[in-house]
Amino acid sequence: MFRLIFRTAVANLRSRRLNSILLGVIIAGGAMSLALATGLRANASHPFEQTADATNSADVHVLAFDGRNDLSSIVQMPGVKQVSGPREFADVEAEGPPETAHLTLVSMAERPQLERPQLSAGRWVEPTRGEVVLERSFARARHLHVGDWLRIAHAGSLQRLHVVGIGITAARGPFPDFEPAAAWVAPSTVAAAAPNPSRRGRELDLRLADRDQSAAVVTAIQRRFPPEQVAAFDWREVENTVTSETSGLTVILGSASLLALLAAGFVIANAISGRVLAARRDIGLLKAAGFTPGGVTGLFVAENVILAFVAGVIGTMAAIPVTPLLLQRSAELLGTPTPSGFGIQPVAAGVLGVLAIVTLFTALPAWRAGRLRVLDAIRLGRTSVSARPSRSAELAARLHLPAPAILGVKDAFAARSRSVMTILSLMLTVVAVVATLGTEATYRRVVGDSSLRAKPYDLLVESDATAARTRALLALHRGQFTNPVTIAGMPVKSPGTGLDIQARALGGNYAARPYAIRQGRMLAGPGEAIVGRGLLDKLGLQVGDRLRLTAMGHPLTLRIVGRYIEPDNDAVAAIFDQRSLPVAVQRRLRPDVGLTVSTVAGARRLQTALERESKGSAQATVTDDEVKQERNSVRPIIWGMDVLLLSIGLVNLVTTMLLGIRERRRDFAIFKSIGLTPHQVLGAVTAGGAVLALIAVAIGVPAGAALFKAVVVATNPTDGPDLGTTPTWWWLLLIVPGILIFTTIAGLFPARRAAEVQPAEALRYE
C-alpha cells in the first residue's frame, strides 16, 4: 500500500507539473521566510549569551589602571580556573567626526582562547605597529570600515592607525553607552601610543570554576585594591548593561519575527489546503478506484510532503546566504555575532517546520475530503454549494451595491476556511503596520519633547574643568542659549534597603522647563523631590511620602512631590534641588549644564563652538540627536520586517485568490453566462479581496495597537505606558485605502485570470 501511495503521489506531481512547480515555489518562499524569521528570533533572544559563547567570554574582568599593583595574587585566588592576560592597555582619544571619544587600545598580538574577540570583518592585527581591530559598535558609530584610518591622540601626540578588522566582545557593552570602547592593537602600538609605562594599564580576565561565584570574587578583589587603582566587574554587570540597552530592540525584533513566522505559516497552510480542496473530483475517482479515506489522506500527505521536502530544502538553502546580509544590522545593534544562517534552528524551521505545516494542512482537508461520498465528489456540474444565503451578500444587496460587488462580497466567503486564513494573514500585516506607526509616533513625540527622556534641555555640557571655568566658557556665548540649569548626577542609596538610586541635584531655574510629571507636581525648592516609578515601586512609596537617602555619605530626607518619566535605571531615580544637600557636599559637586537653545541647528553650532573652545575639556551633547540616532538604527529593521510581512501577505493573497479562482472557474462561467462582462468579473474578484482586507483592517488595527502597547510595556515596564503613543487617527485611517490598494494590486493577476475564463470550456459537460 505504501509503495502504491508513493508511486501514485509521484505520478500526480509529474502530471500536474506546472501546478506542482508553482506550489513548490510558494513553499520554498515560505521555508525561506520561516528560516529567516527563526534566525532573527534566535539572534534577538539572549544577545549577551550569544556573544559570550562566541567569544568564550571570561567570568570576571580586572582592570589595573597603572603598573603599581601586582595582579599575580588575583590569579592565585581560590576558584580561578583559567586566566587570560594580563595585557597592557592605553586609554586614548579617538578624533571625530562627530566628536572625540574615549578608546582603550588593548595589546593583543594574538587572540587568546579565553576572552577571544570574534572577527566580524577583516583580519587580526600583524605584530607591526599601526594596525587596529575596532570593536564593532564603535566602528559602526564612527562609520569606520576595514581599510579606513583612525586618528588617535594621547598625551598631545596624534597618530594614525590602519583599521584592519572589526571584532565583537562580551567584555564590554555597546558604544556609546559603554565608553571607552575597545580596540585591539599589537603591543608595539600600545607602547607607541603611551610611551610612559606608568601610564599604561593592564587587564586580566578570569574564568571561574563556579560562574555564580563571580560577584564574591569581584568583592574580594575590590577589598584587596584601592578602587582608583584596580577595578573589577563580572559578566553579570556587562550582561545587565547589554540587556538593558538591547531589551527594547529584542522585544521589537522578537514580536516582528513571530509575526513573520505566523504569516509564512499561513501562506503554506493556505496554499496546501487549497490544493487538496481543489482536488475534490480526483478524490472521488480515487475512492471509486478502491482507495479508503485513510488511503486518500495518505496519498495527499505523501504527495505534498515530497514536494514540501524538496521545496523546503531549496528555500532553506536560499535563506542561508541571505540571512547574514539581512540580519547584519540587527546583529550590529544587539552586539551579537552576525548570524551565519546555517544554525540548527533556521534549518530545522525551514525544513521540519515546513514539513509539519504541510502535513497538518494536507491531512485535515484530505481527511475531510476522503469522507465525501464518491458520487458527490465526482458529480459534474458542481458549483459552490451552501446551506444558507451569504449574509454579507444580503448586506451588500441591502446597501444597493452594484451587482458585481454583491457577487464579490459573496465570493469572499465561498471557501470559508481559506477566507479566515487570508484574513488572519492580512491582519498580521496590518498589525505590523500599526505597531510600526505607533513606534514612529512615539519616537516623534519623544524627539519633540526632551522632557520625556528626563532631559528637559537642548544641549548638555559636561566638563572636566571647574564650575567657574565652565561658567566662563558659557559666558562667551551668552545670547545663544537661555535658562542654564546645573545637573549633578550622583549615586545615592536608600539606607534601609541598600537600594542604589540614580539621583540628580538641580540648580538654577529648573522650574522654567519642568520634567515630564505624570503624578503630583514639579519640585519647587529644597527639601522636595520628584522620583521615577521604579523607585516608588521598589520602596513601596507614594507621592506625598518622605524619602530617606544617603547622598555622598550624608543623610538626606526629602518629600516626594511628584512622579516623572525616567527612561534610565528602570526609573529607580530621584531629582531634587541641590540646595537640599549640605553645603559641604554641594561644593564637591561637578555639575553638567543643561541649556535651552531655540533651534536644533543652533544647539549643534553651540556644541561645536564649546568643544572647540574648551580644547577638549568640555563635551556637549545635543539631546535631539540621541533619540534620532536610536530611531535611525531601529527604523530599517522595523521597516524591513514590514516589507517582509507585506510581501508574505501579498503572496498569500495572490495564492488564495488564484486557488479560489481555479476552484470556482465554473462559477465565473455562470456569471458570464448571465451577462457579467469581463470587467465586472474582475470587479467582483477585486471586491471579494477588498472585503477580506477591510475585515483584516477592522481586526488588525485594534490588535496592532494592543501589540504595540504590549511591546512598549515590555520594553520599558516603568514608563512605557506613559511614553507609548497611539498613531494619530488619520494615520490609522490611511491604512484603509493603503490596504485596499495593496489588495487591488495583489488581486489584479488572479482577477484577470477569472475574467478570462471561457464559459463554454468551464461549463462543458457533453
Question: Pattern 139-178, binding to other proteins, x per CB under 8 A?
Answer: ----------------------------------------
Cα-based angle 278, 284, 286 (whole degrees, multiple of 5) = 105
* E runs forming strands in 199-267: 201-208, 230-234
List Cβ neighbours of 456 (8 Å cut-off, separation of 6 or more): 450, 513, 514, 515, 516, 594
Write down the least CB distance from residue 22 to other proteins, Å: 23
Where residue 494 falls (left for φ over 0; alpha for ψ -120 to 50; beta otherwise) is beta
**Residue among 432 and 659 whose Cβ is closer to other proteins:** 659
Considering only residues 372 to 431 of the shown chain, the ones binding other proteins according to CB under 8 A are 380-390, 393-394, 397, 400, 402-403, 406-407, 410, 413-414
**Residue among 392 and 578 whose Cβ is closer to other proteins:** 392
Write down the least CB distance from residue 383 to other proteins, Å: 5
Give the alpha-carbon dihedral of 264, 265, 267, 273, to 10 degrees.
Answer: 170
Write down the least CB distance from residue 390 to other proteins, Å: 4
- DSSP H/E element including 134: strand 131-135
Selection from 89, 110, 218, 248 nearest residue 154 by Cα = 89
**Residue among 226 and 381 whose Cβ is closer to other proteins:** 381
**Residue among 387 and 468 whose Cβ is closer to other proteins:** 387
Question: Pattern 704-743, binding to other proteins, x per CB under 8 A?
Answer: ----------------------------------------
Nearest 5°: phi and psi at 149? -115, 140
Write down the least CB distance from residue 11 to other proteins, Å: 20
List Cβ neighbours of 272 (8 Å cut-off, separation of 6 or more): 23, 27, 304, 308, 357, 358, 361, 362
**Residue among 394 and 545 whose Cβ is closer to other proteins:** 394
**Residue among 39 and 404 whose Cβ is closer to other proteins:** 404
Write down the least CB distance from residue 442 to other proteins, Å: 45
CB of 84 closer than 8 Å to CB of 115: yes
Selection from 126, 140, 244, 231 nearest residue 570 by Cα = 244
CB of 136 closer than 8 Å to CB of 168: yes
Write down the least CB distance from residue 373 to other proteins, Å: 15
Write down the least CB distance from residue 757 to other proteins, Å: 10
Dist CA 726 CA 708 (whole Å): 8
List Cβ neighbours of 121 (8 Å cut-off, separation of 6 or more): 145, 146, 165, 166
**Residue among 371 and 679 whose Cβ is closer to other proteins:** 679
766 lies in the site for other proteins, by CB under 8 A: yes
Q: Which stretch binds other proteins (CB under 8 A): 29-37, 108-116, 641-649, 752-760?
A: 752-760
Q: Which of 196, 219, 629, 758 binds other proteins (CB under 8 A)?
A: 758
**Residue among 63 and 403 whose Cβ is closer to other proteins:** 403
**Residue among 110 and 761 whose Cβ is closer to other proteins:** 761
List Cβ neighbours of 511 (8 Å cut-off, separation of 6 or more): 522, 524
List Cβ neighbours of 47 (8 Å cut-off, separation of 6 or more): 242, 243, 246, 250, 334, 335, 336
Question: Pattern 675-694, binding to other proteins, x per CB under 8 A?
Answer: xxxxxx--------------
Write down the least CB distance from residue 274 to other proteins, Å: 18
**Residue among 223 and 400 whose Cβ is closer to other proteins:** 400
Question: Pattern 330-369, binding to other proteins, x per CB under 8 A?
Answer: ----------------------------------------
Write down the least CB distance from residue 728 to other proteins, Å: 39
HSE of 460 in the Cβ direction (CA atoms, 13 Å)?
A: 16
Selection from 464, 479, 744 nearest residue 602 by Cα = 479
SS3 (DSSP) at 87: strand
Dist CA 436 CA 442 (whole Å): 10
**Residue among 131 and 663 whose Cβ is closer to other proteins:** 663
Write down the least CB distance from residue 376 to other proteins, Å: 12
DSSP summary character for residue 593: E
* E runs forming strands in 541-649: 546-551, 554-564, 573-577, 592-596, 618-622
Cell 509521484 sits on residue: 10
Write down the least CB distance from residue 269 to other proteins, Å: 24
**Residue among 192 and 393 whose Cβ is closer to other proteins:** 393
674 lies in the site for other proteins, by CB under 8 A: yes
**Residue among 475 and 674 whose Cβ is closer to other proteins:** 674
**How remote is the C-alpha of 555 from its chain's centroid?**
42
CB of 594 closer than 8 Å to CB of 462: no
Write down the least CB distance from residue 21 to other proteins, Å: 21
214 lies in the site for other proteins, by CB under 8 A: no
SS3 (DSSP) at 415: coil
663 lies in the site for other proteins, by CB under 8 A: no
**Residue among 402 and 526 whose Cβ is closer to other proteins:** 402
Q: Which of 673, 702, 733, 749 binds other proteins (CB under 8 A)?
A: 673
DSSP per residue, 258-308 = HHHHHHHHHHHHHHHHHHHHHTHHHHHHHHHTT--HHHHHHHHHHHHHHHH
Where residue 100 falls (left for φ over 0; alpha for ψ -120 to 50; beta otherwise) is beta
Write down the least CB distance from residue 685 to other proteins, Å: 14
Write down the least CB distance from residue 427 to other proteins, Å: 24
Q: Which stretch binds other proteins (CB under 8 A): 112-120, 465-473, 613-621, 753-761?
A: 753-761
Selection from 447, 435, 436 nearest residue 630 by Cα = 447
Write down the least CB distance from residue 680 to other proteins, Å: 8
79 lies in the site for other proteins, by CB under 8 A: no
Write down the least CB distance from residue 670 to other proteins, Å: 5
**Residue among 167 and 284 whose Cβ is closer to other proteins:** 284
Total binding residues toward other proteins, as defined by CB under 8 A: 43
**Residue among 404 and 720 whose Cβ is closer to other proteins:** 404
Q: Which stretch binds other proteins (CB under 8 A): 142-150, 508-516, 555-563, 665-673?
A: 665-673
- DSSP H/E element including 193: helix 187-193
b/e map 111-136, b = 16+ CB within 10 Å? bbebbbbbbbbbebbeeebbbbbbbb
Considering only residues 470 to 509 of the shown chain, the ones binding other proteins according to CB under 8 A are none
Dist CA 417 CA 464 (whole Å): 68
How many residues can be counted in the chain? Answer: 766
Residues that bind other proteins (CB under 8 A): 380-390, 393-394, 397, 400, 402-403, 406-407, 410, 413-414, 666-667, 669-670, 672-680, 758-761, 763-766
